[in-house]
Amino acid sequence: MDESMLTPGLIPNKEPMIRVGLILPEDNIHSIQISFSDTQCFEIETIDRSHPSFENSDQLSLRIVDGNLVIPELKFKDTVLKIIPSISQDDLFITIDGILAGRGFHWEKKISASYWGILEFCVSNGKMMAVNELPLE
């Protein structure tokens, strides 16, 4: 059993985190624009290193090139990345242009949406995936 799940009758000692899928492989999205409420308050983490704030870029392009996530503005290339708030502040957010809303409905369209918490991007079978990780409450 996954120990990160809630157990009936047991009160957790810290707030549970949830993971919400934002971009799925079937969305067939290969490129997005990302902007930040405050670029000095976010860092990019990869499998093997952390990249501190990128205060010279208030907007970044994230693309899939040859099976890798690429951010041309930062000369960044990897298969997995997380954008993490470097300070705890309720008003920090990341805006993504090109998120699919109404997936599978007749009114399906791409929108700009803002998210709080950690954003994790990865490549799955050559397609982009994005997950938002944030506290339950």
Domain boundaries in the chain? 28-135
* CB 6 within 8 Å of CB 12: yes
pLDDT for 8-60, tens place per residue?
888 878 888 899 999 999 999 999 999 998 878 888 888 777 767 665 578 89
Give the model's pLDDT for residue 59. 87
Counted residue by residue, the chain has a size of 137
Which residue has better confidence, 100 or 4?
A: 100
DSSP output for 25-61? GGG---EEEEEES-GGGEEEE-SS-EE---TT-SEEE
For 82-126, write each residue's pLDDT tens digit.
999 887 767 889 999 989 999 989 999 999 999 999 999 999 999
Please check whether residue 41 is in contact with residue 85, taking contact to mean a CB–CB distance below 8 angstroms: yes
Pairing of strands 68-71, 94-101: unpaired
